[in-house]
Structure 1
Amino acid sequence: MPAVRRLVTLLPLVFALSSPVFAAQIGTIPPAESLTTERVQALPPAQRDAWAAYVARSDAQRAADRAALAAEREGMSTWPARPEGGHSEGSMPLDKPGHWYASDAARLVIANILSFQTPAGGWGKNQPRDRPARLKGQDFVADNSNKKATPGDFDAAKDPQWSYVGTIDNDATITEIRFLAKAAPHQEPELAKACRAAAERGLRYLLAAQFPNGGWPQVWPLQGGYHDAITMNDNAVVEVAELMGWASRGEADLGFLPADLKAAAAAAHDRAVQLLLATQIRVDGRLTLWAQQHDPLTLAPSSARNYEPPALSAGESARALEFLMQLPKPTPAIVESVRAGVAVLRELPVRGRAFVKVDGARRLIDQPGAGPLWARFYDPATLTPVFGDRDKSLHDNVNDISAERRNGYSWWGTWPVKTLAAYDAWAARWLKPGN
């Protein structure tokens, strides 16, 4: 396994101070760095080859994906409109009784999933699967470009016609694989074989997308910008690692996988666990939490959209800790990671306050008896809450950002409650008395 760099010193404050727009503005959110050949060439020689091979593989696969679509369209004067966008995960239910997966409704979903699998083996996001199958020459994914993006916007697609073509964002690819595996036993032999082959291709896609250090980017082949970061956001890395664990053990209807793929999935799962240990940020030598995104090379917290700073994240950290607590044989490093992370989460919540609408816009207000609440983001050096706005300004008070962003984002929440509730039973089993 490639060596993984652990952050062992105080992470410097990464927000560049600027002239305030609001009185409480404390900085400006910087853009994330893409994973480029130039950055790879600046690595120590021992790390360079693995990362150079990764970037080259990504470039080659992107070219192959685009060439496949171009070949389909050759000789066509027009081609079908882009597929419909919308809620994706809900159209691929994983909790239906067995007989439902033999129904016409399930076969419609199967046909859609099979037809929209990209040449690389992944799937796009925000695309309902209970819709007709892909037509010849049609785009592989729905339109995921940000139509509100302005010049310099971190979320502006470099190519609006080719965005999120293969992603783990919003449970994409993970859910398609799981649905195909669950539905396969209820199909006629030929369709069952196709479901299993596509699920296997999807898992091999995820293996190809895994970074040398064990993380995963949001989009693969690489798209640039924050999409190249190790993406903890929406629990993406954790959910792929969880899927790899199931695949390695033949669980979650994945028992049909060949032995070589199960072994590769086991290794990918183990690399992901080591990556989680490496990316847990230390502040003054103390283990704390994880960020929503981490730079793939430095592992430092990375920004994403204009209002998403390079900061620690309560929600994603809670889910990472749950994943680590589910491991059957935690090492001393895993035990310490969980103990330390939970200790920080217990220190951070506010009580007697609520994030509610007041005159049409959400505000954090005093409300006796309310809470506990955790901020979505915490400064990686001081562990104090921070809040971003669309103009890239950073604030220390959620009430100082625009009403549009206060209403349109989950700045405060109860994400760690479930994690903390599960911790005591876990600690009783794995922590030595007095720890």
Structure 2
Amino acid sequence: MHLKKAAIALALALGLGLPAAHASVIGTMTRAQPVTEARIAALAEADRAAWRGYLERSRALMARDKAALATERAAGAAPPEAQARLHGDSGMPLDKPPAWYASPEARHVADNIVSFQTPAGGWGKNVDRTGHVRQKGEHYAPIDDDPSGGVIVAAAGWNYVGTIDNDATTTELRFLARVQAALPGAPGEAYRKAFDKGVGYLLDAQYPNGGFPQVYPLQGGYHDAITYNDNAFAQVADLLALVAGRQGDYAFVAPALASRAQVAHGRAIGVLLASQIRVNGQLTGWCQQHDALTLAPVGARNFEPVALSSSETSRLLTLLMRLPQPTAQVTAAIDGAAAWLKRVAVYNVGWTAKGENGRFLEARPGAGPLWARMYDIDTMQPVFGDRDGTIHTDVNELTKERRDGYGWYGSGPASALAAYDKWRAGQGGKQGR
């Protein structure tokens, strides 16, 4: 179906009337603000010292990372940038039989991970860990200085050098935990040491209020926001809970580090609860990113405007439901997020596969439920961002590149809501005892 006809059919199916003759642009992206001394100065006096100390430590760590690389390169010519970009599998499977993690193949991956760990303790993203072991003078992470999409370039040749974006750092740590468990004693010591350093990196990266930036040391722009996007925050929180529990692959963790992880996990849950969006007094969901200092919802890349996010809310809902002893506040947050997801489900439409005209939304009687990725906070209607920073109410009006290149609709929240129904039934049983 032609896109214009599809839009008309969709509007009729939803009872929204005919779309406007021209693009329904309702605004443009507003850039998220970085963490700066000036913004910290506007905080309550009791909060300023902790945030100033955090910012100073972040800058010192970045300076040390850069100095370490410069020292290596001063000793001779830097090797070519040969680290592979990720195209599919990262090379760090977490579902192999335990014995596999003692194999030469697994140890090579672990050696690659250890070699590319930054001095600060984190890892870059989008790397095939089956590749070569890092050579002295080689950069710690693949560098992308292309600002398309709104990426903030902190300094030429220094971006995402330590990040939780795209499953980075948390996956490396989980893989190291699996390998060291298969290699007790001296053979696994290097992996345990790198793991401890990596957990220390996450603890250092945690904001005074319990949030986590996308990139640490801080890179600026939206990268400084508390990042729920693509489940980055949830993956860190889950890992901290495993470290604190000291079971299975994590039994080797020292009690002192486990205790620190437990405290950090509690603080993470605290900021998660504090940042949940209320609309007309009702708890709803979360946005992809929230301002580090104010917790206000903020945009990210040019096509990711301020909006409630069904995908991120679903994952955070799952995180909260895993807590063994939910408080009344946690229970209220869970109930509010689940109710919101149920309320914004979309029916009688389908999100097509890629074709000659690209993906588009079409009327499909009887279909659903489906969820838009983003919803306007005030109207609760789906919204969509394009590469040029414009915000639309009709996904079919986006450029083909953005319609095809982003998950604007999906059915993922259905599984979270099914889990919620079971969780709620279990909570009712507990209350009845």
Q: Could you say whether these structures have the same fold, taking a TM-score greater than 0.5 normalized by the shorter chain as the test?
A: yes
Name the amino acid aligned to 1:210: Q
Aligned counterpart, 2:12: none
Aligned counterpart, 1:112: 112
1:394 alignment partner, SS class: strand
The list of structure 1 runs, each at least 4 consecutive aligned residues, that deviate by more than 4 angstroms after superposition, is: 431-434
Aligned mates of 1:276, 1:87 — CA distance in 2? 32
Aligned counterpart, 1:365: 362
Aligned mates of 1:78, 1:333 — CA distance in 2? 53
Aligned mates of 2:66, 2:355 — CA distance in 1? 48
Check conservation: 2:287, 2:312, Cα contact below 8 A: yes
Paired residue total: 411
| 1:157 to partner: Cα distance | 1.8
CA deviations on 1:251-291 (whole Å, 9 max, x unpaired) are 35111111110000000000011111001000111100000
Task: Choose between structure 1 and 2: higher helix proportion.
Answer: 2
Check conservation: 1:89, 1:171, Cα contact below 8 A: no
Q: Is the alpha carbon distance of 1:36 and 1:22 closer, same or farther for their aligned partners in structure 2, counting shifts above 3 Å? A: farther
Aligned counterpart, 1:225: 221
| 1:186 to partner: Cα distance | 2.3
CA deviations on 1:184-204 (whole Å, 9 max, x unpaired) are 132373330111111111001
| 1:239 to partner: Cα distance | 1.0
CA RMSD, Structure 1 to Structure 2 (Å): 1.8
Aligned counterpart, 1:140: 140
CA deviations on 1:196-238 (whole Å, 9 max, x unpaired) are 1111110010000001111100000000111101000111111
Aligned mates of 1:323, 1:277 — CA distance in 2? 12
Aligned mates of 1:204, 1:22 — CA distance in 2? 52
Aligned counterpart, 1:214: 210
| 1:80 to partner: Cα distance | 2.9
Structure 2 residue 321 is the aligned partner of structure 1 residue 325: yes
Name the amino acid aligned to 2:396: N
Q: Is the alpha carbon distance of 1:263 and 1:156 closer, same or farther for their aligned partners in structure 2, counting shifts above 3 Å? A: closer
Aligned counterpart, 1:413: 410
Aligned counterpart, 1:46: 46
Q: Is the alpha carbon distance of 1:101 and 1:24 closer, same or farther for their aligned partners in structure 2, counting shifts above 3 Å? A: same
Aligned mates of 2:115, 2:399 — CA distance in 1? 42
Q: Is the alpha carbon distance of 1:403 and 1:198 closer, same or farther for their aligned partners in structure 2, counting shifts above 3 Å? A: same
| 1:401 to partner: Cα distance | 1.1
Aligned mates of 1:117, 1:415 — CA distance in 2? 33
Q: Is the alpha carbon distance of 1:51 and 1:22 closer, same or farther for their aligned partners in structure 2, counting shifts above 3 Å? A: farther
TM-score by length of structure 1 reads 0.91
Aligned mates of 1:431, 1:372 — CA distance in 2? 26
Q: Is the alpha carbon distance of 1:230 and 1:162 closer, same or farther for their aligned partners in structure 2, counting shifts above 3 Å? A: same
2:72 alignment partner, SS class: helix
Correspondences of 1:260-339 after superposition (within 5 Å)? 260-339=256-335
| 1:382 to partner: Cα distance | 2.0
1:126 alignment partner, SS class: coil
Aligned mates of 1:350, 1:188 — CA distance in 2? 51
Name the amino acid aligned to 1:279: S
| 1:115 to partner: Cα distance | 0.3
Identity, % of aligned pairs? 48
Q: Is the alpha carbon distance of 1:424 and 1:188 closer, same or farther for their aligned partners in structure 2, counting shifts above 3 Å? A: closer
Q: Is the alpha carbon distance of 1:61 and 1:317 closer, same or farther for their aligned partners in structure 2, counting shifts above 3 Å? A: same
Q: Is the alpha carbon distance of 1:271 and 1:156 closer, same or farther for their aligned partners in structure 2, counting shifts above 3 Å? A: closer
1:191 alignment partner, one of 187, 194, 203: 187
Aligned counterpart, 1:256: 252
Aligned mates of 2:80, 2:154 — CA distance in 1? 22
Check conservation: 2:303, 2:384, Cα contact below 8 A: yes
| 1:406 to partner: Cα distance | 0.4
Aligned counterpart, 2:174: 178
1:389 alignment partner, one of 383, 386, 391: 386
| 1:430 to partner: Cα distance | 2.1
CA deviations on 1:334-366 (whole Å, 9 max, x unpaired) are 001101110110011111100114543111101
Aligned counterpart, 2:231: 235
| 1:371 to partner: Cα distance | 1.5
Structure 2 residue 422 is the aligned partner of structure 1 residue 425: yes
2:197 alignment partner, one of 201, 206, 216: 201
1:343 alignment partner, one of 328, 339, 342: 339
Aligned mates of 1:77, 1:243 — CA distance in 2? 38
Check conservation: 1:353, 1:364, Cα contact below 8 A: yes
TM-score by length of structure 2 reads 0.91
Q: Is the alpha carbon distance of 1:89 and 1:332 closer, same or farther for their aligned partners in structure 2, counting shifts above 3 Å? A: farther
Aligned counterpart, 1:169: 165
Check conservation: 2:225, 2:290, Cα contact below 8 A: yes
Check conservation: 2:124, 2:161, Cα contact below 8 A: yes
Name the amino acid aligned to 1:143: I
| 1:90 to partner: Cα distance | 3.5
Check conservation: 2:90, 2:126, Cα contact below 8 A: no
- Deviates most, 66-75 or 357-366: 357-366
1:330 alignment partner, SS class: coil
Q: Is the alpha carbon distance of 1:361 and 1:252 closer, same or farther for their aligned partners in structure 2, counting shifts above 3 Å? A: farther
Aligned counterpart, 1:245: 241
Aligned counterpart, 1:56: 56
Name the amino acid aligned to 2:394: N
Q: Is the alpha carbon distance of 1:45 and 1:89 closer, same or farther for their aligned partners in structure 2, counting shifts above 3 Å? A: farther
Structure 2 residue 400 is the aligned partner of structure 1 residue 403: yes
1:71 alignment partner, SS class: helix
